[in-house]
Amino acid sequence: MGCGKTTWSRKLAAKLGYEFIDLDHALEEQMGMSIAEYFSSFGEDAFRKLESDVLKQTKYPENVVVSTGGGLPCFFDHMEWMNSNGKTLYIKLSPKTLADRLENSKTIRPVLQGKKGDELVEFITGKLAERESFYLQAHHHVDGIDMSVEKLEGAINSAG
């Protein structure tokens, strides 16, 4: 969460002349409300089910860069499904850098429940420990510091 998937997928798509789909955005369109509102009205389990349906039922164009939500890779068979249907890339950052970015971001992320400072760093450290085994299944891993479109292109064109 907050590693730059949306920001950099959009830039990569523009550079490649591909379409761009952000699955959090697609979900919000389908729900007719923000993710934060959906979480508080229907809870996380309902959100994860809908997120899975949107991942698998979206009609993807042939050439597209897709950014997922931060939790999506860690539920159901999503990593396996994405690895079978495209090239996957994990943008890796430390909990401290993620916390700094998330504190400055305007998007409300309900999983964080308003945490700040050291409490936020500690929470992200725990979440990453739970989740990283899923993220590491991605075909390619890039360090999210000094990010550039060229760095992303290099990673997806590399052997692994």
Ligand X SMILES: Nc1ncnc2c1ncn2[C@@H]1O[C@H](COP(=O)(O)OP(=O)(O)OP(=O)(O)O)[C@@H](O)[C@H]1O
Ligand Y SMILES: O=C(O)C1=C[C@@H](O)[C@@H](O)[C@H](O)C1
Q: Which C-beta is closer to Mg ion: that of 29 or that of 118?
A: 29
Q: How far is the CB of 22 from ligand X (least distance, A)?
A: 7
Establish whether 101 is an annotated binding residue. Answer: no
Residues 85-144 that bind ligand X (CB under 6 A): 101, 104-105, 109
Site membership for ligand X, residue 73 (CB under 6 A): no
Long-range contacts formed by 9-13: CB under 8 A, 24+ apart: 9/65, 9/66, 9/67, 10/65, 10/67, 11/149, 12/65, 12/149, 12/152, 12/153, 13/64, 13/65
What, of ligand X, ligand Y, Mg ion, none, does residue 88 touch, CB below 5 to 8 Å by kind? none
Site membership for ligand X, residue 5 (CB under 6 A): yes
Angle, helix 23-31 to helix 35-57, in steps of 10 degrees: 110
Annotated binding site for Mg(2+): 6
